[in-house]
A and B are shown apart, each in its own frame.
Chain A
Amino acid sequence: MTMLARSALRTVRPLGAAARNAASRTATRSASTSSSTAEGTASSWKTNALPAGATLFAIGSVAWYYQMFGRNVDAMTPAEEGLHPTKYPWEHAKWYKTFDHASLRRGFQVYREVCASCHSLSRVPYRAAVGNFMTVDEAKALAEENEYDTEPNNEGEIEKRPGKLSDYLPSPYKNDEAARAANNGALPPDLSLMVKARHGGCDYIFSLLTGYPEEPPAGAVVQEGLNFNPYFPGTGIAMARVLYDDLVEYDDGTKATTSQMAKDVTEFLNWAAEPEMDDRKKMGWKVLAISSVLFALSVWVKRYKWAPIKSRKLVYTPPVQSKILTKLPQPPNKS
């Protein structure tokens, strides 16, 4: 056993010693090598050759494997990928915070006054606004501003009626082809689920809306009809900058700077994509509260049930050993 241990040590130790020698070519010897004779030092490089070679081989193959398969492989150039958006500390993204509904109200205003001329929001009905950022009367009045098709009447004619709370927000274009035709061939996508549909979510949309530079940087190629935006994959986007300071007038007196509007409309779009968020978070906390109580209870029950089993003491009392022969029926004693 000691033999084995010592030989194992010998393969390791001289490696360290060799390294130390190489680092400072001094004659100082550690206690472990001091016992070795001149003959021992002479043969040491042979002992080291195998472990040193193996180590070099191992490092080499790891390096080769890494350079072959370990590096990031980008299918796209950084420009095609787009600038990664800045991470902003969104208040509503915290686990214990609801949307800021005043911000939702402002964001909806920005959507209606700016984005709605190009982008649809077809998954959001008027009724969803009620109790979130509009009163019933406001939402009804807004719905009535638009006309919707009726069911076919007795003659099969489809007529127009004013909108109701159950109607969905109208789209700016009749169909995608009309939308493309009006926007240089580019389709303004529906914004209902946009926050979920893009990497970076809120950060991306905010960065995109506020990320248009005054003019494209030197050397950047911008196609005819496109606008430069570093956050958009490819950097050429068909949507021009739309938000400028004081473009809208907020009814709560908030100053409508570009970034304020971008923040509000982004939070609003987040609500459109996840209208259940407020309730989901509240419910989640309740679930955690209840299930942690139940978990604690089940731990207690487990310990309660196991206590006698874990604390019992098993004692083995070996049977009394006696000679087997004494148990045999004894032959009658003959005198």
Chain B
Amino acid sequence: MAGLASSIYNALFRRNTVMLGTVFASAFAMQLGFDTGSEKIWNSINQGRQWKDIKHKFMEQAEDDEE
């Protein structure tokens, strides 16, 4: 455990520039993860209610008309 902690420390936090990079990169990754996850939950709660769930009906219809 101590070995892991110190190697994390040496790899990511020892130099200020690297640490800054770590902060930015992890902020980016966490935001991406959080947004993807919460979006997924939201869409499953609202299954079938949003435009993206029903628009295929009207898109297809428009294509049918053109034929």
Shortest distance from the beta carbon of A75 to any chain B beta carbon, whole Å: 42
B37: nearest residue on chain A (CB-CB)?
A: A289
Q: Do A131 and B38 touch (CB < 8 A)?
A: no
Known: A135-B59, A137-B62. A101 touches B54 (CB 8 A): yes
Tell me the residues in window 274-300 of chain A with beta carbons closer than 8 Å to chain B beta carbons: 278, 282, 285-286, 289-290
User: Across the interface, do A98 and B62 meet the contact criterion of CB distance under 8 Å?
Assistant: no
In the complex the two chains form, what is the Cα distance from A133 to B54 in whole Å? 9
Within 8 Å CB of B57, what residues of A?
252
- The reply to whether the CB of A96 lies closer than 8 angstroms to some CB of chain B is yes
Q: Are A282 and B59 closer than 8 Å at their CB atoms?
A: no
* Contact (A132, B51) CB under 8 Å given A97-B45, A289-B38: yes
> Does A131 contact B51, Cβ atoms closer than 8 Å?
yes
A96 pairs with B58, CB closer than 8 A = no
Please name all residues of chain B whose beta carbon is closer than 8 Å to the beta carbon of A98 when the two chains form the complex: 46, 49-50
Given A96-B45, A282-B42, A285-B42, A101 and B62 contact (CB-CB distance below 8 Å): no
* Cβ–Cβ < 8 Å partners of A268 in chain B: none
Number of interface residues of A (CB under 8 A): 22
A96 to B45, CA, bound (A): 8
Number of A-B contacts (CB under 8 A): 41
The answer to whether B45 and A101 have CB atoms under 8 Å apart is no
Q: Which of A99, A100, A135, A285 contacts B58 (CB 8 A)?
A: A135
Q: Are A135 and B49 in contact (CB under 8 A)?
A: no
A102, B56: Cα distance in complex, Å: 12
Q: Which residues of the partner chain B approach A113 to less than 8 Å between Cβ atoms?
A: none
Q: In the complex, which residues of chain A have a beta carbon less than 8 angstroms from the beta carbon of B35?
A: 286
Interface centre among B35, B46, B55, by most chain A C-beta atoms within 10 angstroms, is B46
Which residues from chain A contact B55 at a C-beta distance below 8 Å?
A: 135
Please tell me if A151 contacts chain B, counting CB pairs below 8 Å: no
Q: Is A138 an interface residue (CB 8 A)?
A: yes
Q: Which residue of A lies closest to B41 (CB)?
A: A285
Which residue in chain A gives the minimum CB-CB distance to B61? A251
Chain B residues with CB under 8 A of A102: 49, 54
Contact with B along A259-284 (1 / 0, CB 8 A): 00000000000000000001000100
Q: CB-nearest residue of chain A relative to B54? A: A102
Among residues of B, the one whose C-beta sits closest to the C-beta of A91 is: B49
Give Cα A285–Cα B45 distance, bound, in whole angstroms: 13
Residues from chain B with a CB closer than 8 A to the CB of A132 are 51
What's the Cα separation between A278 and B42 when bound, in Å? 10
Binding site for B on A (CB under 8 A): 96-102, 105, 131-135, 137-138, 252, 278, 282, 285-286, 289-290
Query: What are the 4 closest A-B residue pairs judged by CB atoms, nearest first?
Result: A101-B51, A98-B46, A100-B49, A102-B54
